[in-house]
């Protein structure tokens, strides 16, 4: 029989352990309530100066059209502008009066029995009410013979059909992604009001840690979690305002937590219950509201979440893969909510892919994540390639992977072709 998760956790039982789905739901509910009570800060964004490398900010205002879009009836295809009444049946022959290009006025008027050559995006000349594609015509000199019948409005975008004057082109509450930036550029909005990115304090702890540029002692390691978490925070749209590596010293950690001016506290290391794990006593001393103190996942089971001093906090395990997974599963959606996205606007936590290999393992009462690589395999359905991983500190395996796939609780055998959940890196 599989060992009880509560009884197997470093010889101590977590007090508020949750399964994966329940933990994620608890994060979304609590952070959404926090945002309702503490709305994000606002500011103006200079689009021209924004590099766009991180997750884009969320619009704080509706951006509206300054005129009709399109501002004139325009052709959707290269072809001939004509009167639909003259082309109700195939084989009609019309006299071409000239040509109109995008951005130019033709000065021409389409009279009965005539047409005007037109380019995609050009304004429909006066008198025309439809466009026939050039591929559906044959031309001899000025005579254009149609191979198809044409209906009123064919291949024409009427004035204001995309967005009328005053219509919303990008709504408040959505990220200012590339499509929204295009919409704002089209209406001349260069400095929209946005919700400022959440400020994140990242604190990693461990006497064994030294900076990446330092020479480690015989029993020390270079800190890998701080650069990884800082990169993840920036990618998720957060602003790392404090990045510290601290020893296993309760006073130093407490002082750093107390002085951190941030919307989110992100701790890494010391989240378990060993003699030198500082998170539990730190939170107890400051009367933190703990929502959960463990999640039934591997790696990364000792994950804490709650509120401390009016700020949301996460405490992630010190093992690098567990820290990464904890961020992807819980911190990333929390940052999206703190940035101003509504819960219903969040992307799904998992994609689906099929195993390209047989999986066999001892059944555990945990959702077990393993690094993998997605392959197209010549088809549209993604296939997973296994990446050998020796431990939750195997950074080479993590670097070689582009995702983590999830073996469900108590899963012992999953044959090749099994459909599983995937978390993208």
DSSP per-residue codes, 127-194: T--EEEEGGGEEEETTEEEESS---TTTTEE-TTSSB-TT-EEE-TTSB--HHHHHHHHHTT--S-EE
Nearest residue to 375 (alpha-carbon basis) of 366, 385, 367? 385
What tokens were used for 418? 């099994």
Separation in Å, CA 158 to CA 62, 65, 107, 317, 335 = 24, 16, 19, 58, 41
Residues 76 and 155: beta-carbon distance below 8 Å: yes
Q: How many residues does the chain have?
A: 425
Residues 132 and 80: beta-carbon distance below 8 Å: yes
What tokens were used for 131? 């466009």
Identify the CATH assignment for 74-157 out of 3.40.190.10, 3.40.30.10, 2.170.190.11, 1.10.3720.10: 2.170.190.11
- Find tokens 């819980």 and name the residue: 330
Question: What per-residue confidence (pLDDT) applies to 377?
Answer: 63
Nearest residue to 73 (alpha-carbon basis) of 110, 119, 112, 122? 122
Number of Cβ within 10 Å of residue 277's Cβ equals: 20
CATH number of 351-424: 2.40.340.10
Q: To 10 degrees, the CA torsion angle through 277, 283, 286, 290?
A: -170
Question: What per-residue confidence (pLDDT) applies to 274?
Answer: 57
Q: What is the mean pLDDT of each run of 10 residues along the chain (425 residues)?
A: 44 80 97 96 81 81 97 97 95 96 91 97 97 97 97 98 97 94 94 94 86 82 90 94 87 90 91 67 89 95 94 94 96 97 93 94 94 81 92 93 95 94 95
Domain ranges across the chain: 6-40+196-345, 46-65+167-195, 74-157, 351-424
Q: Is the pTM of this model over 0.85?
A: yes
153 — phi, psi (to 5°)?
85, 0
Question: What per-residue confidence (pLDDT) applies to 97?
Answer: 96
Ramachandran assignment for 126, one of left (phi > 0), alpha (psi -120 to 50 degrees), beta (any other) = beta
Question: What per-residue confidence (pLDDT) applies to 247?
Answer: 83
74-157 and 351-424, same CATH topology: no
Number of Cβ within 10 Å of residue 50's Cβ equals: 14
Identify the CATH assignment for 6-40+196-345 out of 3.30.470.10, 3.40.50.1000, 3.40.1440.10, 3.40.980.10: 3.40.980.10
Question: What per-residue confidence (pLDDT) applies to 246?
Answer: 85
Nearest residue to 40 (alpha-carbon basis) of 237, 232, 234? 237
């Amino acid at each position: 029989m599989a060992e009880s998760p509560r009884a197997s956790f470093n010889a101590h039982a977590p007090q508020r352990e949750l399964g994966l789905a329940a933990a994620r739901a608890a994060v979304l509910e609590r952070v959404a309530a926090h945002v309702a009570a503490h709305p994000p800060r606002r500011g103006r964004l200079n689009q021209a100066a924004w590099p766009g490398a991180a997750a884009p900010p969320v619009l704080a205002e509706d951006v509206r059209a300054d005129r009709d879009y399109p501002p004139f009836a325009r052709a959707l295809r290269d072809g001939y502008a004509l009167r639909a009444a003259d082309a109700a049946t195939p084989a009609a022959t019309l006299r071409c009066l000239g040509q109109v290009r995008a951005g130019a006025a033709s000065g021409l008027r389409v009279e009965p029995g005539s047409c005007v050559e037109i380019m995609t995006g050009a304004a429909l000349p006066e008198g025309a009410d439809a466009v026939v594609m050039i591929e559906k015509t044959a031309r001899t000199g000025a005579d254009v013979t149609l191979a198809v019948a044409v209906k009123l409005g064919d291949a024409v975008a009427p004035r204001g059909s995309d967005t009328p004057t005053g219509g919303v082109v990008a709504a408040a509450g959505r990220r200012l992604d590339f499509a929204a930036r295009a919409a704002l550029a089209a209406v001349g909005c260069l400095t929209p009001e946005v919700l400022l990115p959440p400020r994140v304090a990242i604190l990693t702890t461990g006497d064994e840690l030294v900076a990446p540029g330092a020479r480690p002692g015989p029993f020390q390691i270079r800190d890998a979690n701080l650069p990884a978490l800082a990169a993840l925070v920036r990618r998720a749209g957060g602003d790392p305002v404090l990045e510290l590596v601290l020893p296993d010293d309760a006073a130093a950690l407490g002082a750093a937590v107390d002085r951190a001016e941030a919307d989110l506290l992100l701790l890494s290391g010391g989240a378990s219950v060993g003699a030198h794990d500082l998170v539990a006593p730190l939170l107890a001393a400051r009367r933190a509201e703990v929502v959960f103190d463990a999640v039934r996942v591997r790696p990364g089971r000792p994950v804490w979440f709650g509120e401390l001093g009016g700020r949301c906090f996460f405490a992630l395990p010190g093992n690098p893969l567990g820290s990464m997974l904890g961020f992807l599963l819980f911190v990333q959606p929390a940052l999206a909510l703190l940035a101003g996205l509504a819960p219903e606007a969040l992307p799904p936590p998992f994609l689906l892919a099929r195993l390209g290999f047989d999986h066999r393992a001892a059944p555990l009462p945990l959702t077990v994540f393993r690094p993998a690589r997605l392959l197209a395999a010549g088809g549209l359905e993604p296939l997973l390639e296994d990446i050998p991983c020796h431990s939750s500190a195997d950074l080479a395996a993590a670097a070689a992977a582009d995702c983590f796939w999830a073996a469900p609780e108590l899963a012992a055998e999953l044959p090749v072709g099994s459909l599983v959940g995937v978390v993208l890196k």
